[in-house]
Structure 1
Amino acid sequence: MARWKINLIVLWIGQFLVMSGMTMITPFLPLYIQDLGVHDAHQVAMWSGIIFAGNFVTSFLFQPLWGGLSDRYGRKVMLLRSGFGMAIVMTLMGFATSPWQLLALRIVNGVISGFMPAAVALMSTNTPKERIGFALGTLQSGGVAGSILGPFIGGLLAEWVGFRPIFYITGPLLFCASLLALFLIKENFDAAAAKKKPAISTMEGFKELKKTKQLPALYAVTFVIQFSMLSSMTLVPLFVQELHGNGSMLAFYAGLVSSITGFSNMIASPLLGRLSDRIGSVKILAICLVGAAVSFVPQALVTNIWQLFAARFMLGVFMGGMLPSVQTLISKFAPKGMESRAYSFNTSATSLGNMLGPIVGGVLSGWIHIQGLFIMAAVFLFANAIWVRKALFPGRSGTEENAGGTG
């Protein structure tokens, strides 16, 4: 088997385990906080929000630092640092005896995280150019599969073995995935040449990357995707209740509508990644941005559960083409030797969208309701499509085939 394919398989498993481990806590987090001695409903809700967000805050701040070190010392090193580190921290969460301890561990987890950007950077720099779209699309499907199945697996395990053993299971699984990466992943990286380059700070790195005007537009795509999805995510079950009523199967329909976007995303990512290798990532990104914007509009107009189901399925299809296209284009436009740093800022954009989306959505929902949030998401995606059009299609010299300064 070709080396890049072995890397892809191992990293897919790693992506799946990391994302499932990160999201496995979601269904029982409030219950675990109660188990830690907090029983007031308002206090439980407050602690749940703070603990859940703590990981994203530090991830947003520290990803560019790890990206710079990755470009200097290698992507595999950063991959192993993150994987083994998260395995230890995840296991320790099972020993927490207070919400403060759990919050501290979530913050530490965000600090040492970075498995996904390191995996993307490694794949993009160690895969034949004609197969990058397919490789990154497939890698994306692993993360999406983990984020879909993580809450489901976490809920089942909570029923079967209790809360704390879940952490004792997840930590060793992440450790095993890191061992696989240690022994099976091979990276072509010229450490001597990388160390000869002058070390630059995070801000200097950002200023250098900002000179390539395509990169800020691509970061904006990542932010808008996460912001648009999460601004209404927590309100979807209530919207399902509004459409379906309080009859039987409400919880099932709410879960189905919430997860269908992820399932269609997981299916579409490798297919659209393969198509982008044929017709170009810029075209796929442009089509998917407009398609996702259009898919949000009918969600504001639906009158029954199945219409919402269909609209969110189509949204997932277009979402499945956006992130792999962004990752492929970052590899094309990033200055040589700064690929990992470029991906790390993209991960920071993801974390920022994850933080601000639920907050802004929760605040605005009182005035514009979830239907207004759907329209807002459509407007943001259309505006982002225009920005991408201007940044990536300025003329023949600006197309991805003629992108200068690429890695």
Structure 2
Amino acid sequence: MEHWQRNLYTVWFTQILSLTGFGFVLPFIPFFLQELGVTDPVELKQWVGWISAVPGISMGIAAPIWGALSDRYGRKLMMLRAMATGTIILAIMSTVQSPMSVLLLRLCQGFFTGTVTAAATLVAAGTPSDKLSSSLGLLASSTFIGYIIGPTIGGLSAEYLGYRVSFLIGSGVMLTSFILVLFLVREPKEGRKQRNKENGKRGISAFSEAVRALPWKQIGPLLIILFLLRAARSMPTPFLPIQVQLLRGKVEGAAAIMGAISGVIGLVTAISGILLGKLGDRHPRLKLISIFALAASILVLPASVMNSIMGFTIFFVAGSFFAGGLEPLMQSHLTSLTSAENRGTLFGIQTTVGSLGWAISPLIGSVLSIHFSIPSVFVAMSGFLLLASFVARINYKKHR
């Protein structure tokens, strides 16, 4: 097995652990807020919107910095940083007594963690270009597998052990992934070569040079598509638990049901990530993104009018299948347009753009849910996917 393959499989497994740790409780934040005393429906939706948005804001600020530092000091170090801080933040969350404390910790989470970006940067730095789509597709599946295991087990843990214990369990799982990366992952050769080459460069000048070296004419329109895709996929996530609670009619038992739904969504998006990754190695990526985003837009829309948990889940899961592999496919397309030594900077900028979508969409969802209803959030998700499909189609026709 080659060096890049060993890294890929090791990082893939540690990412499953990492996202399992985060998934143990974070999907159930709306229920945890109610335990902290937030029971007014409007106030709850406002807190859910802001607590979901602030990690995107802080990650959008921090990501280019971490990306440039990864180009200079190494991809492995950035993974260790993200996992170590994630371990600490989850442990502290088990002690909070107010919604404001949750918000502040989520702000820190966005600034200091980012395990997905750190892992993708490490894998992309050492993977042959003809294997990028399939490798990043496989890596993306780790995110969704983690969100199968984490929420499924975490939902049961939250129901029977409580949210605070679940935070501690998640922290322990994250710590395990940190230890595995520390001892098993090796720095990609491309990263070592670039740091030797850039040894004399420092700070802002090195970062600005890396930014200028990116092919902006090619990647600019693609970053717009990435923003739309992230906004679409992030918008309903914070409000899914509330929708499940409304369809069920009570909060008791909702965490376990939400965990099961999240597990199914994670499974189909993992399959989608692998499938689209393989298709992306053989077919035009922008054409695939246009087709799959359109299919996701059409399938998600009926979920907004379903009056049962089963009906809602069927349509939302179907839409999640077609939407699940879009971001890693776009990521591989962007990566293929950038030289290996500048991919850390690219991934940092990608994360900033994606984080803007992550930050804005929950706030839009909060406003829609307060002034209209929770189902209107899913209508908006469908609209963002449709717009992403349209922009991808235009760019595909322009460059084919």
TM-score calculated relative to the size of structure 2: 0.82
The Cα shift of 1:80 comes to 1.4
Q: Give the superposed CA RMSD.
A: 3.6
**Partners of 2:210 and 2:373 in 1: CA distance:** 37
Answering whether residue 326 of structure 2 is matched by residue 322 of structure 1, we say yes
Higher relative contact order (CA 8 A, sep 6+): 2
Q: In 2 relative to 1, CA 202–219 (structure 1 residues): closer, same or farther, beyond 3 Å?
A: farther
**Partners of 2:365 and 2:97 in 1: CA distance:** 32
Answering whether residue 291 of structure 2 is matched by residue 292 of structure 1, we say no
The Cα shift of 1:170 comes to 2.6
Answering whether residue 352 of structure 2 is matched by residue 354 of structure 1, we say no
Counterpart position of 1:78: 78
Answering whether residue 264 of structure 2 is matched by residue 266 of structure 1, we say no
**Partners of 1:310 and 1:228 in 2: CA distance:** 18
The Cα shift of 1:284 comes to 2.5
Q: SS of 1:355's equivalent?
A: helix
The Cα shift of 1:5 comes to 2.6
**Partners of 2:170 and 2:379 in 1: CA distance:** 38
Q: Letter of the aligned partner of 2:62 in structure 1?
A: F
**Partners of 1:158 and 1:304 in 2: CA distance:** 23
Counterpart position of 2:197: 193
Q: SS of 1:41's equivalent?
A: coil
Q: SS of 2:341's equivalent?
A: coil
The Cα shift of 1:202 comes to 10
Q: Output aligned runs, 1:137-148, within 5 Å.
A: 137-148=137-148
Greater CA drift, 301-310 or 179-188: 301-310
Kept in 1, the 8 Å contact 2:67–2:347? The answer is: yes
Q: In 2 relative to 1, CA 201–357 (structure 1 residues): closer, same or farther, beyond 3 Å?
A: farther
The percent identity for this pair of structures is 29
The Cα shift of 1:65 comes to 0.8
**Partners of 2:51 and 2:242 in 1: CA distance:** 23
Q: In 2 relative to 1, CA 41–218 (structure 1 residues): closer, same or farther, beyond 3 Å?
A: same
Q: Output aligned runs, 1:1-16, within 5 Å.
A: 1-16=1-16
Kept in 1, the 8 Å contact 2:17–2:176? The answer is: no
**Partners of 2:262 and 2:287 in 1: CA distance:** 28
Q: In 2 relative to 1, CA 44–15 (structure 1 residues): closer, same or farther, beyond 3 Å?
A: farther
Could you tell me which of 266, 273, 283 is aligned with 1:279?
Answer: 283
Q: Output aligned runs, 1:111-260, within 5 Å.
A: 111-186=111-186, 187-188=188-189, 189=191, 190=193, 191-196=195-200, 199-200=203-204, 204=208, 208=212, 212-233=216-237, 251=254, 260=264
Answering whether residue 392 of structure 2 is matched by residue 388 of structure 1, we say yes
- Structure 1 residue runs of 5 or longer lacking an equivalent are 397-407
**Partners of 1:150 and 1:177 in 2: CA distance:** 14
Answering whether residue 309 of structure 2 is matched by residue 311 of structure 1, we say no
Q: SS of 2:176's equivalent?
A: helix
Counterpart position of 2:37: 39
The Cα shift of 1:112 comes to 1.2
Greater CA drift, 96-105 or 83-92: 96-105
**Partners of 1:253 and 1:41 in 2: CA distance:** 20
Q: Letter of the aligned partner of 1:351 in structure 2?
A: S
The Cα shift of 1:351 comes to 2.5
Q: SS of 1:278's equivalent?
A: coil
